[in-house]
Amino acid sequence: MKSLARLLGLALLAALGAMLLASFGSGSFTAHMIIHMGIVAVAAPLVAYGLRDTRLDPLPGVIRASPMLASLVELVVVWFWHLPALRRIADGSLALSLVEQASFLVAGVLLWHACFRPKDGRLAGAAGLLFTSMHMTLLGVLLALAPRPLYGGGDVTCFGIPLSAAADQQLGGVVMLMVGALAYLLGGILLLAGVLREDEALPANRPPC
């Protein structure tokens, strides 16, 4: 299973890289967000699970981050790259866009790696993913409901579809909500359900008095 997850994650990263090259220069925030969410919410958990506790694991036990710390790192990275000034610079430089997406991948793998099996239990992992879902939701709502475009004012093309700057930003915010926030929320709920199942099994495993 880990080998398959790792292979799927790497294949998805290659596809998203090709998508970045194909869409670069279009100015579409929606295209950017599709690639971003594909990396942090789909490819990153596959890669993190595929590398966990293998000889390829980049995060040995001595440097594993706590889920909440990893979530804070993800928050800083994501919000930093969505500052309007940084967004304009990255959209104008392919090299910087690749650095941006690489930072999303590192932060995403760090987060999912920390939350899948944290040292302090599944509850900490669930808390880390639920907190990430909250700040992803907040950013997605701010982008979708902003009264004016934050990332340019002209029409753009999203994979061949013409959009106004306002509609493009709103659609990008919806992508963040539908893919990013929901992926972290689902991951947190699944880990929390595991905690509850473990708690229910404890009385049955206790020896009789």
Compute and round to an integer the Cα radius of gyration of the chain.
19
Cβ density class 135-148: b for 16+ within 10 Å, e for less: bbbebbeebbeeee
Looking at residue 159, what is its pLDDT?
81
| Buried/exposed code over 64-83 (b: 16+ C-beta within 10 A; e: otherwise) | bbbbbebbbbbbebbeebbe
Nearest Cα neighbor of 182 from 124, 134, 114 is 134
CA neighbor of 109 nearest in space, from 65, 62, 174, 173: 65
Residue 204 belongs to some domain of the structure: no
Q: Is 122 inside a domain boundary? A: yes
Model's pTM, two decimal places? Answer: 0.85
For residue 127, is it within any domain? Answer: yes
pLDDT (0 to 100) of residue 203: 54
- Apex 9 CA angle, 5 and 13, nearest 5: 170
Please check whether residue 73 lies inside any domain of the structure.
yes
* pLDDT of res. 99: 95
Query: For each of the chain's 209 residues, which pLDDT tens digit applies?
Result: 888 988 999 999 999 999 999 888 888 899 999 999 999 999 999 998 888 777 767 665 545 678 899 999 999 999 999 999 999 899 889 999 999 999 999 999 989 988 887 655 678 888 889 999 999 999 999 999 998 888 877 788 888 888 898 999 999 999 999 898 889 988 888 888 876 766 555 555 555 54
- Residue 140 domain boundaries: 2-194
- Number of folded domains in the chain? 1
What pLDDT sits at residue 58? 62
| Any domain includes 208 | no
205 within domain boundaries: no
In a domain, 209, yes or no: no
